[in-house]
Structure 1
Amino acid sequence: MIVVEELTKRYGRTVAVDGLSFAVRPGHVTGFLGPNGAGKSTTMRMILGLDRPTAGRALVGGRPYASLRRPLREIGALLEGRSAHPGRRAADHLRYLARSNDIPAARVGEVLALVGLQDAARRRASGFSLGMAQRLGIAAALLGDPPVLLLDEPVNGLDPEGVHWLRALLRGYAAQGRTVLVSSHLMAETALVADRLVVISRGRLVADATVAEFVAGAASLEDAFLKAVAR
């Protein structure tokens, strides 16, 4: 699972993440919510070792990301859909990632089929629509068949069919006993896919609860969220 312990990130006098602690457990889809500037992306970057914490730590399966020998086999991540080099073909992009983590080459074709890009395997990323780029990013996250998924706004650019497909994928992943953390601004979609919520505001934890617990007494998830972050 993912464990965040007293995680803090300062940029000069600005505190982006402030003593944040939570755990993302297996067998659930956990929604990661917060207003713009709440510190969600910074937290996810620190989990993945892309930003160094000022204090505290983040662990994946009990270890810091930087200590993982083959990280794609441990955690699959999507932070930016258009991460592939624009001149590189989709299959080549995934083959490079597979080789770097000792993943069998056959897995490339499997994940391209899984995300619906099998017919675009030889196309260059520069010609991809936003939705296709997002599917390629999800394919990269799934490449190592990892026990943990961390996805930032994964439905961005997906059409309704793609959103439905992704929802089923995430639920199926969690049903296998894996760990799923999904950041989103879409409250209605989060209400449909998430079992649990971690909500932050101004870098601090606001709530860590099941969706039912968080929404209790409110008209909707959006209503509960707005009240929580206002407090």
Structure 2
Amino acid sequence: MVVHSVNFRELTGPGGHRSVHDVLELRNLSKRYGRVLAVDDVTCAVRPGRVTGFLGPNGAGKSTTMRMVLGLDRPSAGQVLVNGARYRDLRDPLRHVGALLEGSQAHGGRSAYQHLRWLARSNRVPTARVHELLGHVGLGDVAHQRVGGYSLGMRQRLGIAAALLGDPPVLLFDEPTNGLDPAGVRWLRETLRSFAAEGRTVLVSSHLISEIELTADHLLVLARGRLLADAPLEEFRGTEALEDAFLRLVSGR
């Protein structure tokens, strides 16, 4: 089954309201696992209207930080606020924050349609949105097939659809290009930039520095749990390639 790339620019949703207040704020955020300080007093704001790239070496604390945003891990200190509220206090959270963490978490025995329909019903999202999104991520022809038979790229597209289901103003993506072919990577890049142009708040974590260089407007760099940089991409790299500037910073040279 060939899954085609698609354009999200014409996609409509149940919401549509964008606000300059749709900001993701981390305030003195820390997370400790025993003696290990995974995230160390991080304070920053991810703002709407731009794609913010989240960079760091393995073990930097990026995934832990994103999990704390979604309430999957509890901070040891500090807090995370989405538009001034904690994630756990949000009603119908998929309408406020969409996230792709470690790909789609759909049960392998369910179809893509069943998975999205369950999420839609639990967040008061119209069923019509499910059909619309499955078509727009290129899964319309396989919507009723079991997810267990999907390729990694198809699972990734399903995860992206789940993140977009509530038409949220805040979007978090952790390694979103996993499993996507070159056309899919370009499609995703254009999609993320179009979302930022609509006024959404977009945070993308990736080890693919070259892709972040093509996608992001702003950078957050984390290493050893500490925030080392919070700056526009062009300001951060200066006259260097982004990879060189990043490696120099995290190595301390």
The TM-score by the shorter chain falls in which range? over 0.9
Residue 37 (1) aligns with residue 59 (2): yes
Aligned to 1:137: 159
Describe the SS at the equivalent of 1:144. Answer: coil
Describe the SS at the equivalent of 1:131. Answer: helix
Aligned to 1:83: 105
Q: Deviations over 1:7-61 (max 9, x none)?
A: 0000111100000111100000000000000000000000000000000001111
State the one-letter code of the partner of 1:153.
Answer: E
Q: Deviations over 1:55-114 (max 9, x none)?
A: 000111111100001100001000021410000000000000000000000000111111
Q: Distance in 1 between matches of 2:102 and 2:144?
A: 21
Q: Deviations over 1:108-135 (max 9, x none)?
A: 0111111111111001110000000000
* Shift of residue 147, structure 1, vs aligned partner: 0.4
Residue 67 (1) aligns with residue 89 (2): yes
Identity %: 66
Q: Distance in 1 between matches of 2:251 and 2:71?
A: 31
Aligned to 2:202: 180
Q: Distance in 2 between matches of 1:199 and 1:97?
A: 32
Aligned to 1:224: 245
Q: Distance in 2 between matches of 1:19 and 1:162?
A: 36
Q: Distance in 2 between matches of 1:120 and 1:161?
A: 19
Q: Distance in 2 between matches of 1:90 and 1:104?
A: 16
Residue 157 (1) aligns with residue 192 (2): no
Tell me how large the CA RMSD over aligned residues is.
0.6
Q: Distance in 2 between matches of 1:11 and 1:73?
A: 31
- Aligned residue-pair number: 230
State the one-letter code of the partner of 1:230.
Answer: S
Q: Distance in 2 between matches of 1:114 and 1:175?
A: 19
Q: Distance in 1 between matches of 2:145 and 2:218?
A: 38
Aligned to 1:6: 28
Aligned to 2:132: 110
In structure 1, list runs of 5 or more residues that go unmatched.
none
State the one-letter code of the partner of 1:43.
Answer: T
State the one-letter code of the partner of 1:89.
Answer: S
* Shift of residue 217, structure 1, vs aligned partner: 3.2
Q: Distance in 2 between matches of 1:114 and 1:25?
A: 26
State the one-letter code of the partner of 1:107.
Answer: R
List 4+ stretches of structure 1 deviating above 3 A.
Answer: none
How high is the TM-score relative to the length of structure 2? 0.90
Residue 169 (1) aligns with residue 167 (2): no
